[in-house]
C-alpha cells in the first residue's frame, strides 16, 4: 500500500534543506548578536495552556488529542505560550530582562494555502521583564535586522497599537472589541464590500463604519501619521501610547532601521494577548504572500499562566513565507551539494579498498568534503558519476600506484592527472581547493 504524506505537510529535499539552513543560520547569527539565547520547548503542551491564552475557540485550530494516559494535549501552534510557561515554571526570579530565541516547527489545523501549512517553521524572540519602550525598540530593530541579514531589503515594518484600537472601539460603542480587532486584522483578505458587511454585524451606524474605514487607512511615515492620531484620540491612556510611539520611532532611528518603519493604526494582529505596540513585516511579492512575520507587547500573558505580573515583548518570523520570497527575488545563494573530492579505488582488492578509505578519512579529517566510491563501479562509470555530480577532483587509488606509495589526482574539468605521494595527498588537495 502506498502512503502519501499528510495534507499540509512537506518533504524537503537536500537542496531545499540547504537553502533553509542558510536562512536559519543568518537569522540565528543576528539573534545572538543582540544577546538573545536559544531555547527549545516540547513539541506538545497541555491544551489548557492555549485555552488560557485564547479561549475554547482556539482548540479548533489546534492538533489537539488525548494521549494514552488520558491527558488533553496539543501540538504547539506557536512558541510564545510555551516560552511563557517555561518562564513561569523556572525563571521568575532570574535577572531581567530574559532574552530568549527559538527556531522551531509549529502546527496548526488550518486549510493549507500560499505560505501557510499545517506544519511550519518560525524563528522568534521573547524579551521578558521590561515594560520600557527601549525593549520594544530593541525587539523591532532586531526584527528588521533579521530580514536584512537574509539579503531582503524591500520590506516594511508596520507598527500599530492595540490600546488605540481598543480606545477606538470604545469611542464607537462596540462591546465586542476583541471581535472587531479580529475583523480589522483580516481586512486585507476581504474586499471592501465584505469588510463593510462584516462591520454591520457589530451594530455600527454608517457613520461608525466610515470612521473604521478611515482608521484603517491611517498609515504611512511616522511624521505624517502620528499627528493624525493625536487629533483622533484624546483620552489620557491613548495619548500616553501615542507618546510611546513617538519615542519608539526616535529610538528606531538610532538603531538605523527607520528607513523600513511605517505606522499603521489598522494593525490588530491575530492574537488576543497583545497589550500595546504591535507590528508586522510586509514584503511586496507576486506569490500571494502577505505578512512575513510580526509580534508585539504582551504584558498580561505571564500572569494568565500563573506567574507574577511581568511585562514582555517579542516576535515570530514566518519562515515558510520568507523563504519563497527570498527565492523569488533571487536572494538565496547557489547551494553546493557535492563533495569537493571523490576517491575511487581501482579494482576490488581488499588492499586497494582499505587504502581508499584511509585516503578519504585523511581528507575528511583535514576538513575537506570528500566521498568514496561505495558501489563497486568500474573506473569509467565511477568517473562518469563524478562528472554528473560536478565534482572538481578525483583521487584514483590503484594497486600499481600503491606499490610505489602514490595515488593519482585528476582534475575533472581539465582532465589533467598528477601522481602524488600518499602522505602528501591532503596537502595537495588543500592547496588546490584553497583551504
Helices 206-215 + 192-200 axis angle, to 10? 130
pLDDT confidence of residue 92: 96
Q: Which of 293, 328, 363 is the last residue of a domain?
A: 328
> Are residues 74 and 217 both part of a single domain?
yes
- Kindly report, residue by residue over 247-286, the tens digit of the pLDDT: 999 999 999 999 999 999 888 766 578 899 999 999 999 9
Give the span between the Cα atoms of 56 and 128, in whole angstroms.
26
Cα separation values, 202 from 79, 162, 207, 426, Å: 32, 18, 13, 74
Going across the sheet that includes 291-297, the strands are: 37-38, 98-107, 119-128, 312-318, 291-297, 277-282, 156-161, 261-264, 219-220
Going across the sheet that includes 341-345, the strands are: 370-372, 341-345, 393-397, 406-411, 417-421
> Are residues 348 and 290 both part of a single domain?
no
pLDDT confidence band for 102 (50 / 70 / 90): very high
Q: Which of 278, 304, 328 is the last residue of a domain?
A: 328
What is the DSSP-derived secondary structure letter of residue 109? Answer: -
In a domain, 8, yes or no: no
Percent share of the chain, pLDDT over 90: 75
> Are residues 387 and 318 both part of a single domain?
no
> Are residues 145 and 202 both part of a single domain?
yes
Residue of 112, 27, 13 lying closest to 322 (CA atoms): 27
In a domain, 394, yes or no: yes
Q: Largest Cα–Cα distance in the chain?
A: 95
> Are residues 218 and 101 both part of a single domain?
yes
Give the span between the Cα atoms of 45 and 433, in whole angstroms.
49
Q: Would you call the peptide bond into 97 cis, given omega within 30 degrees of 0 as the criterion?
A: yes
Residue of 47, 83, 64, 62 lying closest to 298 (CA atoms): 83
> Are residues 270 and 366 both part of a single domain?
no
Give the span between the Cα atoms of 246 and 249, in whole angstroms.
5
pLDDT confidence of residue 114: 65
pTM tops 0.85 = yes
Hey, what's the cell of 417? 592527472
In a domain, 6, yes or no: no
CB-based contacts of 104, cutoff 8 Å, min separation 6: 40, 41, 79, 121, 122
Residue of 262, 212, 205, 209 lying closest to 232 (CA atoms): 212
Q: 43-57, 151-165, 187-201 — which is least confidently predicted?
A: 187-201
Residue that has been written with the C-alpha cell 514584503 in this structure: 283
User: What is the span of the domain harbouring residue 64?
Assistant: 14-328
- For residue 72, the SS3 value is strand
Give the span between the Cα atoms of 47 and 292, in whole angstroms.
27
In a domain, 334, yes or no: no
What are the backbone angles phi and psi of residue 387, rounded to the nearest 5°? -65, -40
- Kindly report, residue by residue over 202-239, the tens digit of the pLDDT: 777 777 777 777 777 788 999 999 998 888 887 888 89
- Kindly report, residue by residue over 108-123, the tens digit of the pLDDT: 998 877 667 999 999 9
The secondary structure of the chain in percent helix, strand, coil, rounded to multiples of 5, reads 45, 20, 35
Summarize the confidence of residues 39-43 as an average pLDDT: 97
pLDDT confidence of residue 215: 76
Cα separation values, 393 from 221, 307, 347, 373, 384, Å: 55, 60, 19, 13, 13
Q: How many domains, the chain?
A: 2
> Are residues 53 and 80 both part of a single domain?
yes
Handedness of CA 139, 141, 147, 148 (dihedral sign): negative
Residues forming a β-bridge with 293: 281, 317
Give the span between the Cα atoms of 99 and 84, in whole angstroms.
12
Is residue 184 scored above 90 in pLDDT? no
> Are residues 345 and 321 both part of a single domain?
no
What are the backbone angles phi and psi of residue 20, rounded to the nearest 5°? -65, -45
CATH of the domain at 236: 3.30.930.10
H or E, element range at 106: strand 98-107
In a domain, 322, yes or no: yes
Is residue 177 scored above 70 in pLDDT? no
CATH of the domain at 425: 3.40.50.800
Handedness of CA 64, 176, 197, 290 (dihedral sign): negative
Characterize the bridge pairing of strands 406-411 and 312-318: unpaired
Is residue 324 scored above 90 in pLDDT? yes
- Kindly report, residue by residue over 329-382, the tens digit of the pLDDT: 999 998 889 999 999 999 888 999 999 999 999 999 999 999 999 999 999 999
Amino acid at each position: 500500500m502506498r502512503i502519501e504524506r499528510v495534507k499540509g505537510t512537506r518533504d524537503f529535499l537536500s537542496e531545499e534543506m540547504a537553502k533553509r539552513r542558510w536562512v536559519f543560520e543568518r537569522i540565528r547569527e543576528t539573534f545572538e548578536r543582540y544577546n538573545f539565547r536559544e531555547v527549545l520547548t516540547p513539541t506538545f503542551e497541555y491544551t489548557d495552556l492555549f485555552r488560557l491564552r485564547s479561549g475554547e475557540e482556539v482548540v479548533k485550530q489546534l492538533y489537539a488529542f488525548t494521549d494514552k494516559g488520558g491527558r488533553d494535549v496539543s501540538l504547539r501552534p506557536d512558541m510564545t505560550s510555551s516560552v511563557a510557561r517555561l518562564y513561569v515554571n523556572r525563571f521568575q526570579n532570574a535577572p531581567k530582562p530574559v532574552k530568549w530565541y527559538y527556531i522551531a516547527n509549529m502546527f496548526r489545523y488550518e486549510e493549507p494555502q500560499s505560505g501557510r501549512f499545517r506544519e511550519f517553521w518560525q524563528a522568534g524572540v521573547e524579551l521578558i521583564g521590561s515594560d520600557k519602550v527601549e525593549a520594544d525598540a530593541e525587539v523591532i530593530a532586531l526584527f528588521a535586522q533579521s530580514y536584512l541579514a537574509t539579503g531582503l531589503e524591500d520590506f516594511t515594518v508596520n507598527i500599530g497599537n492595540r490600546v488605540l484600537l481598543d480606545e477606538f472601539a470604545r469611542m464607537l460603542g462596540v462591546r465586542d472589541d476583541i471581535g472587531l480587532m479580529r475583523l480589522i486584522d483580516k481586512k486585507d483578505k476581504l474586499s471592501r464590500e465584505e469588510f463593510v458587511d462584516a462591520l454591520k454585524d457589530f451594530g455600527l451606524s454608517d457613520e461608525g463604519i466610515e470612521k473604521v474605514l478611515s482608521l484603517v487607512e491611517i498609515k504611512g511615515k511616522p511624521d505624517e501619521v502620528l499627528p493624525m492620531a493625536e487629533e483622533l484620540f484624546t483620552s489620557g491612556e491613548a495619548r500616553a501610547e501615542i507618546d510611546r510611539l513617538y519615542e519608539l520611532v526616535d529610538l528606531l532611528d538610532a538603531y538605523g532601521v527607520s528607513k523600513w518603519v511605517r505606522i499603521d493604526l489598522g494593525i490588530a494582529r491575530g492574537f488576543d494577548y497583545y497589550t500595546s505596540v504591535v507590528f508586522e513585516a510586509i514584503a511586496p511579492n507576486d506569490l500571494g504572500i502577505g505578512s512575513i512575520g510580526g509580534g508585539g507587547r504582551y504584558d498580561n500573558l505571564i500572569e494568565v499562566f500563573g506567574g507574577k505580573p511581568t511585562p514582555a515583548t517579542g516576535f515570530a518570523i514566518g519562515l515558510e513565507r520568507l523563504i519563497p520570497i527570498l527565492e523569488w527575488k533571487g536572494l538565496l545563494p547557489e547551494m553546493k551539494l557535492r563533495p569537493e573530492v571523490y576517491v575511487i579505488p581501482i579494482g576490488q582488492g581488499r588492499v586497494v579498498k582499505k587504502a581508499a578509505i584511509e585516503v578519504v578519512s585523511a581528507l575528511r579529517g583535514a576538513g575537506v568534503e570528500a566521498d568514496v566510491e561505495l558501489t563497486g563501479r568500474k573506473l569509467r562509470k565511477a568517473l562518469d558519476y563524478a562528472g554528473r555530480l560536478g565534482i572538481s577532483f578525483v583521487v584514483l587509488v590503484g594497486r600499481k600506484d600503491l606499490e610505489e606509495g602514490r595515488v593519482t589526482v585528476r582534475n575533472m574539468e581539465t582532465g589533467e592527472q598528477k601522481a602524488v605521494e600518499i602522505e602528501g595527498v591532503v596537502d595537495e588537495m588543500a592547496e588546490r581547493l584553497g583551504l
